[in-house]
Structure 1
């Protein structure tokens, strides 16, 4: 049988077709526009998502026996707000995860409702990207639209609705709304009251591998599918990407070195750090996860290479870096502000420690090390909760650098594993489709059979000790510069 993973991203939808053994048959991508009607705003038309997905499904399955398609599932950009009226028509363009219009609403939630209460209700605090502040913004600024709301949905859930006719969501994606009682995996009655909505306006909550229906007959006929293709709920992009790397179960860790950097830790138990520096979300494997984000990871290296040095030959620039753990130059990778642990949009990228002896290689090394230190900030918070992490998987564009993986292994004192798949969210969604269709009993069983480690970088005790001293210096830099960032904004 064949399975489809649909990854609804910010710039494109990526679709993957594979069999139950994880053999990928075809991958298709379809782009759609993003709109910026005002400075700091970011919106999309949900109809564009649907049209691109349908076109992608037709192309993806054009060369296969469509009667063999058994199930499909989703990974989706998180936090976006899709509003439907009583006729299930979209009321206004979707407000996306990277939209920054809700600072006033976040200040109200964090300061007047209070961070402690928000954490008690949802395990998290308000950030401008989250969904609940967006609902408040619509209530405060577009009351006519607010009064039309029949259903509040997330981006991938809208796709699932269009394919099945059912209003559903999953625990991992809903965790990023600031509306879910994450510990108990149900809607927070307190947050519903604070937002002035009703539970009937929210979708039913499912686990990510639950079957939520079959593809509607009209859609199936258009696609050339049989009438019994199962639709599996899927999850938020980070959780489903973690499934795609096998980061499930208890104590498994994955580091994503993409544009942003993510430390994702799977856990069988619910946990929240006292400062809410890490996101505490439900996972797509029926358990929980902690997640820390540094906003400029591979983006920092790309900026340094492309804009400052002026080269695309990243590997050559790294060849001259031979001495680790001794660099006197430090880099704070806060080019777009910072999320974890500082939650400070005013933080800025900073080099410090240069002398007349500083070389080009020192600066390049400082960028790689600065990102590793920032990711360690995230990891150490998880360790403070008693989570034991001795190895991590790694993916993303930055993971192609052997040097960067060696630096991370020694800065964090963990074994860094590379796996046999680079497809991430779309692959993870296809795995969830397999589990939902009973090809595998659990998500853990599926990932253990479909994902293998193909390379590992072990930490070196000498370098670990050297980087421990370097990290002690790094953690002093942000507190010393925080006041400077304030006056520079």
Structure 2
């Protein structure tokens, strides 16, 4: 038995998997980010550990063959000399460090920074958050002895070892993605201590052991782990789309490539000597959760989505922009905000829900189009995450993207991919490619509906105009 553990934004999930790739057990423990100020998003690392302990115990981790880790990327976990967190972790969807992003790109130059890291400086990433702590909490900064990412804090508690993987390291903005090592140039330019950073391993490599026996794979950031779980490991595979709290589009590459302006993320992949490019919608499932919580917190998502089916594509002129917590791609704007446009008295709760599903789908389309120049236009996509459980949302997404969507037999996202990495670390499979070939199975395909494709093509210019218009309103309000 193998176990994959995913440290998500809203919960920890552990998945027990057998040698054939079938799920034996799923254990999940919820928690919530803390938002002490507008634009801030934090979590207590101990919340992850308590939830992880419970979920692992439920799945029988102490008696398994191997464990793999996955988790939300970018989060800053600052530790003191006793490996205790100095403050709540600053998460990937935190937008406070926009001034630090500007300072980083001014110091290194936009093109120079992208050349060294494969990415541009974006709020919520580890390096800008660390500089924010230096600028605003110097008493905390002076006590830092080590820096970890969310899943790697759980590894530390689980095995006593500080380590990370090349995928998660790629998202710190302190990593030379092309060379798969920490960037001495960036660390020197930002005056950061390289001794704070953990050793970097390839994703399927063992990086610690539970009880001194069970190998714990280095694992991967959630986007790459989910891609592994969907069988997206080499160039030419379908793109991976994850509809979770955020919406992530991942294309695998056999060689390193980056957009010169940093409009797409370029990361190492969970396959040794593999890379990927991706686009991100920060508020995907998060937009639907926000709507539910505002309208009726006790309502089920199933009920809300069912009400959306009463409305035709386009929702009679109602559009939704999902930039509720800023945006990364293609608009690197931490101050971006979302909104409904075209709201009328004839619209009800179902209309709002339909507009949210459509608005997120159009935002995912923007991310997908960012990758075309780097990875080529895909002919199909594989979808995972909580949103993949909604037939309605899948039909909307297929029509907006005008792509067939493949659904695999397991929909546990990053946790499932992490379990496969744990299997490689345990020696059950020779490599990630073999693990995927023996376990990942497509069970159905959602084809785009021709009439919906036509309608959404008509709506695209209106969605393309949403961000500039709302951006202008927001800045006028400021």
Fold shared, TM-score > 0.5 on shorter chain: yes
Q: 1:18 matched to which residue of 2?
A: 17
Q: Using the TM superposition, name which of 443-452 and 376-385 deviates more.
A: 443-452
Q: 2:250 matched to which residue of 1?
A: 264
Q: 1:239 matched to which residue of 2?
A: 224
1:153-196: CA deviation from partner (whole Å, max 9, x where unpaired): 22222232333333221011111101001111111111111232
Q: Which blocks of at least 5 consecutive residues in structure 2 are unaligned?
A: none
Task: Say if 2:74 is the partner of 1:79.
Answer: yes
Provide the C-alpha distance between the structure 1 equivalents of 2:77 and 2:292, rounded to a whole number of angstroms.
38
User: Are the aligned partners of 1:290 and 1:382 in contact in 2 as well (CA < 8 Å)?
Assistant: yes
Provide the C-alpha distance between the structure 1 equivalents of 2:47 and 2:339, rounded to a whole number of angstroms.
39
- Which of 400, 404, 414 is the aligned partner of 2:393? 404
Q: 2:310 matched to which residue of 1?
A: 320
Change (3 A) 1:170 1:355: closer
Change (3 A) 1:272 1:51: same
Q: 2:59 matched to which residue of 1?
A: 60
- Which of 403, 410, 423 is the aligned partner of 1:414? 403
Change (3 A) 1:369 1:165: closer
Change (3 A) 1:337 1:144: closer
Q: Which structure 2 residues correspond to residues 29-44 of structure 1 after superposition, within 5 A?
A: 29-31=28-30, 40-44=39-43
- Which of 121, 131, 138 is the aligned partner of 1:126? 121
Q: 1:224 matched to which residue of 2?
A: none
Provide the C-alpha distance between the structure 2 equivalents of 1:148 and 1:299, rounded to a whole number of angstroms.
34
User: Are the aligned partners of 1:390 and 1:413 in contact in 2 as well (CA < 8 Å)?
Assistant: no
Q: Which structure 2 residues correspond to residues 86-235 of structure 1 after superposition, within 5 A?
A: 86-215=81-210, 220=211, 227-235=212-220
| TM-score computed with the length of structure 2 as normaliser | 0.87
**Alignment size in residue pairs:** 473
Once the 2 structures are TM-superposed, how far is the Cα of residue 93 of structure 1 from its aligned partner? Answer: 4.0
Q: 1:223 matched to which residue of 2?
A: none
- Which of 233, 247, 254 is the aligned partner of 1:248? 233
Provide the C-alpha distance between the structure 2 equivalents of 1:193 and 1:344, rounded to a whole number of angstroms.
27
| TM-score computed with the length of structure 1 as normaliser | 0.86
User: Are the aligned partners of 1:326 and 1:466 in contact in 2 as well (CA < 8 Å)?
Assistant: no
Provide the C-alpha distance between the structure 2 equivalents of 1:356 and 1:56, rounded to a whole number of angstroms.
46
Once the 2 structures are TM-superposed, how far is the Cα of residue 461 of structure 1 from its aligned partner? Answer: 5.3
User: Are the aligned partners of 2:95 and 2:335 in contact in 1 as well (CA < 8 Å)?
Assistant: no
Q: 2:441 matched to which residue of 1?
A: 452
Change (3 A) 1:48 1:362: closer
1:10-66: CA deviation from partner (whole Å, max 9, x where unpaired): 34432222222223232333456755566654444444443443344333328xxx5
SS of the residue corresponding to residue 471 of structure 1 reads: helix
1:313-354: CA deviation from partner (whole Å, max 9, x where unpaired): 2354244345x5796443333333333211223433344456
Q: Using the TM superposition, name which of 77-86 and 382-391 deviates more.
A: 77-86
User: Are the aligned partners of 1:325 and 1:463 in contact in 2 as well (CA < 8 Å)?
Assistant: no
Change (3 A) 1:362 1:44: closer
User: Are the aligned partners of 2:217 and 2:422 in contact in 1 as well (CA < 8 Å)?
Assistant: yes
Provide the C-alpha distance between the structure 1 equivalents of 2:25 and 2:206, rounded to a whole number of angstroms.
24
Q: Using the TM superposition, name which of 299-308 and 177-186 deviates more.
A: 299-308
Once the 2 structures are TM-superposed, how far is the Cα of residue 109 of structure 1 from its aligned partner? Answer: 1.0
1:418-445: CA deviation from partner (whole Å, max 9, x where unpaired): 1111211221111100011221222122
Greater C-alpha radius of gyration: 1
User: Are the aligned partners of 1:392 and 1:417 in contact in 2 as well (CA < 8 Å)?
Assistant: yes
Once the 2 structures are TM-superposed, how far is the Cα of residue 211 of structure 1 from its aligned partner? Answer: 1.2
Once the 2 structures are TM-superposed, how far is the Cα of residue 462 of structure 1 from its aligned partner? Answer: 5.9
Provide the C-alpha distance between the structure 2 equivalents of 1:308 and 1:33, rounded to a whole number of angstroms.
19
SS of the residue corresponding to residue 385 of structure 1 reads: helix
Q: 2:279 matched to which residue of 1?
A: 292
Provide the C-alpha distance between the structure 2 equivalents of 1:367 and 1:44, rounded to a whole number of angstroms.
26
Change (3 A) 1:435 1:133: same
User: Are the aligned partners of 1:8 and 1:49 in contact in 2 as well (CA < 8 Å)?
Assistant: yes
Provide the C-alpha distance between the structure 2 equivalents of 1:15 and 1:170, rounded to a whole number of angstroms.
19
Q: How much is the aligned-residue C-alpha RMSD, in angstroms? A: 3.1
Q: 1:431 matched to which residue of 2?
A: 420
SS of the residue corresponding to residue 437 of structure 2 reads: helix
Change (3 A) 1:321 1:455: farther
Once the 2 structures are TM-superposed, how far is the Cα of residue 152 of structure 1 from its aligned partner? Answer: 2.1
User: Are the aligned partners of 1:327 and 1:366 in contact in 2 as well (CA < 8 Å)?
Assistant: no
Q: 1:471 matched to which residue of 2?
A: 460
- Which of 374, 388, 401 is the aligned partner of 1:385? 374
Once the 2 structures are TM-superposed, how far is the Cα of residue 262 of structure 1 from its aligned partner? Answer: 1.9
Provide the C-alpha distance between the structure 1 equivalents of 2:8 and 2:344, rounded to a whole number of angstroms.
43
